[in-house]
Amino acid sequence: MPSDPGGSRAFAGRAFDPAAIPGKPEALAGVRVLEVATRIFGPATADYLGLFGAEVIKVEMPPRGDLMRYVAPEGFFWKEVSPAFLSLNRNKLHVGLDLHPPEGKELFLRLAKRSDVVVENLRAGTMDGWGVGYLQLRERNRRIVYAANSGFGQWGPYAAGRASYDATAQAVSGFSAVTGFPDQPPMKAGFWVGDYTAALMSATAILAALAARRKTGEGQMIDLSQAEAMIRTLDWTWPYAGMTGKDRVRNGNVDPSYTPSGIYRCRDGFVAVSARDEDEVIPLAHALGATDPEEASIATPERVGAFCASRRVDEVVRIAEDAGFSAAPVRGGKDHYHDPHLRARGTVCSVDDPLYGRVDEYGPAPKLSESPGRVKWSAKPVGWHNERVFGDLLGMTTGEMEALARKKVIGKWADIPGARPPKGSAP
């Protein structure tokens, strides 16, 4: 029982070593996921499962596929693929399959019979209307876990036909109303937080449903609204509204629960200053010039702001470390890309992709010592894995596949940037 002092940190260095990951098993090995989704909410859900070893088959409508393929920052495509598409579609098998014709539906049902999970983010009821919704899939496979991701849920007054993106959820949930500065309009988060947050919640519910299935042998339907996911993350907003009848206001860059904790401007950038309780507020007040603990109240946002304004970010961080409060720089993608800490943790990682060569990505956040997550390969063009999935998995012959391709039931990429392989690489 007596522990080896410092043993945990030494153990962590060994147990989580990114170099050892390829030789370790994967947590979700043997779980097959069918993704019928576009843009972010559904694809990110499947991506999170794929990072931990699930086999994800991404079903796209040929030849254009997922419309996220055409979302490209400043219109920039690299080797005919958008960097925004790459980061959402790791470790997937890409098939081009049209779910409208009867042969397409049948093929999908055959895939579903051999799968564990379906993730979709079409408008509520679309899959059911096509004859490939949860109720039809369940007929073939009682064990299927079906995650229906949508903006407003599968039922209720707003469910029918109403579309949603990330920022719909940011907007209607109240999230944007509490983000930004009091004298300014509500601020939309500049990243697609309403999608990712809900996608992570969807992936979490899928793992819970798989745990339940282990006991019952039965799958189930999961109905997740991305707006409701965001509502759940608004901490004290709701009890405050219930108790006071008032709206929580935007509070700018100071956290109203931990004043003066917040983000401050320095001479050369921005820093977060954090003081959770007296144990940190008193040292912070000292750093600001207080001479005894009674003066802790001088640690106001104004004083912290003035203190930071005349210093560099690294000075403030060093002062905090010496004094006993907490501080960290505000960092961006360029900082992350070059950060040795994130590289050493595999949080920024390189994958050697057979089609694209080296691609750098954010790796999985949770580090598991025995069955770690990993990025194995990058996104692929529409229908890239048709032969592997329809041939190897379903046992179709080349002739059968060619016949279905002629009828446009299955297909491959359109000859446009975003959908097609890099120049000179197509088979």
Q: What residues act catalytically?
A: 195
* Amino acid at the residue 275: A
Q: Does 217 bind another protein (CB under 8 A)?
A: no
Q: Does 110 bind another protein (CB under 8 A)?
A: no
Shortest gap between Cβ of 130 and another protein (angstroms)?
Answer: 11
Q: Does 238 bind another protein (CB under 8 A)?
A: yes
In sequence order, what are the residues at sequence separation of 6 or more whose Cβ sits closer than 8 angstroms to the Cβ of residue 120?
Answer: 35, 36, 37, 42, 126, 127, 146, 147, 148, 149
Instruction: Write the burial class of residue 64 (CB in 10 Å: 0-12 exposed, 13-18 middle, 19+ buried).
Output: middle
Give the three-class secondary structure for 135: helix
Helices (H), 29-149: 41-51, 83-86, 102-113, 126-129, 134-140
- Using CB under 8 A as the binding rule, the residues of this chain from 167 to 196 that contact another protein are 167-181, 183-193, 196
How many beta carbons lie within 10 A of that of residue 365, not counting itself?
11
Please tell me the distance from the alpha carbon of residue 291 to that of residue 213, in angstroms, as a whole number.
61
In sequence order, what are the residues at sequence separation of 6 or more whose Cβ sits closer than 8 angstroms to the Cβ of residue 257?
Answer: 236
Shortest gap between Cβ of 93 and another protein (angstroms)?
Answer: 20
Closer CB to another protein, 39 or 389, in the complex: 39
Shortest gap between Cβ of 371 and another protein (angstroms)?
Answer: 4
Question: Treating both helix axes as pointing N-terminal to C-terminal, what angle do 278-287 and 313-323 enclose, rounded to 10 degrees?
Answer: 120
Binding residue for another protein, selected from 22, 157, 354, 395, defined by CB under 8 A: 157
Binding residue for another protein, selected from 99, 203, 404, 409, defined by CB under 8 A: 203
Shortest gap between Cβ of 390 and another protein (angstroms)?
Answer: 25
Binding residue for another protein, selected from 113, 248, 311, 312, defined by CB under 8 A: 248
Tokens 């920024």 — which residue? 348
Closer CB to another protein, 74 or 399, in the complex: 74
Closer CB to another protein, 4 or 291, in the complex: 4
Q: Are 9 and 93 in contact (CB under 8 A)?
A: no
- Using CB under 8 A as the binding rule, the residues of this chain from 21 to 40 that contact another protein are 25, 27-31
- Tell me: cis bond preceding 260? Omega within 30 of 0 counts: yes
Q: Are 55 and 28 in contact (CB under 8 A)?
A: no
Q: Does 121 bind another protein (CB under 8 A)?
A: no
- Using CB under 8 A as the binding rule, the residues of this chain from 53 to 82 that contact another protein are 67, 70-76, 78-79, 82
Answer left, alpha or beta for residue 177, where phi above 0 means left and psi between -120 and 50 means alpha: alpha
The H or E element spanning position 279 is helix 278-287
How many beta carbons lie within 10 A of that of residue 357, not counting itself?
11
Shortest gap between Cβ of 387 and another protein (angstroms)?
Answer: 27
Q: Does 426 bind another protein (CB under 8 A)?
A: no
In 324-363, beta strands by DSSP E: 326-329, 348-353, 357-362
In sequence order, what are the residues at sequence separation of 6 or more whose Cβ sits closer than 8 angstroms to the Cβ of residue 260?
Answer: 254, 273, 275, 284, 299, 300, 301, 303, 304
Shortest gap between Cβ of 275 and another protein (angstroms)?
Answer: 9
Segment interacting with another protein (CB under 8 A) among 96-104, 264-272, 381-389, 401-409: 264-272
Please list the residues that pair with 81 across neighbouring strands. Answer: 78
Q: How many chain residues are in contact with another protein, going by CB under 8 A?
A: 185
Q: Does 271 bind another protein (CB under 8 A)?
A: yes
Shortest gap between Cβ of 427 and another protein (angstroms)?
Answer: 23
- Using CB under 8 A as the binding rule, the residues of this chain from 125 to 144 that contact another protein are 125, 128-129, 133-135
Binding residue for another protein, selected from 97, 137, 359, 396, defined by CB under 8 A: 359
* Amino acid at the residue 79: K
Q: Does 5 bind another protein (CB under 8 A)?
A: yes
Binding residue for another protein, selected from 373, 381, 383, 421, defined by CB under 8 A: 373
Closer CB to another protein, 110 or 250, in the complex: 250
Q: Does 209 bind another protein (CB under 8 A)?
A: yes
Shortest gap between Cβ of 394 and another protein (angstroms)?
Answer: 25
Binding residue for another protein, selected from 112, 229, 304, 409, defined by CB under 8 A: 229
Segment interacting with another protein (CB under 8 A) among 95-103, 110-118, 370-378, 407-415: 370-378
Binding residue for another protein, selected from 103, 315, 360, 387, defined by CB under 8 A: 360
